[in-house]
Amino acid sequence: MQLLLKVAKCSDWGYSAWCPGLPGCVVWGDTRREAMDKARQAACAYIAHLDEALPRELERQFAAETVSAVRRHAHPCAQ
């Protein structure tokens, strides 16, 4: 998997780096290299978290949708 990392020089205090494909994945560093290294580490941690959290969230959403569909399509004779 390849992700785009962007780096920008901040006026007074170093560099900012972020990954546009991962919302909120933004870091800062004193040097361009430090910002890029931190961005790579942050992106890896972000993706690792998604690998753990996303299946649980999808499971919860599926369960909620299934319950909702069952209620909507309940047999007319069911009380």
Q: How many domains does the chain have?
A: 1
- Cβ neighbour number for residue 8 with a 10 Å cutoff: 10
Does residue 78 form part of some domain?
no
CA atoms within 13 A on the CB side of 69: 6
The tens digit of pLDDT for each residue in 23-70 reads 888 999 999 999 999 999 998 888 888 777 666 655 665 655 554 444
Rounded-to-integer distance, Cα 29 and Cα 42, Å: 13
Does residue 77 form part of some domain?
no
Rounded-to-integer distance, Cα 18 and Cα 68, Å: 39
Structural domain range at position 17: 6-72
CA atoms within 13 A on the CB side of 67: 5
In this prediction, residue 46 carries a pLDDT of 86
Does residue 22 form part of some domain?
yes
Rounded-to-integer distance, Cα 75 and Cα 39, Å: 54
**Among 14, 13, 38, 15, CA closest to 25:** 38
The tens digit of pLDDT for each residue in 66-75 reads 544 444 444 4
In this prediction, residue 17 carries a pLDDT of 93
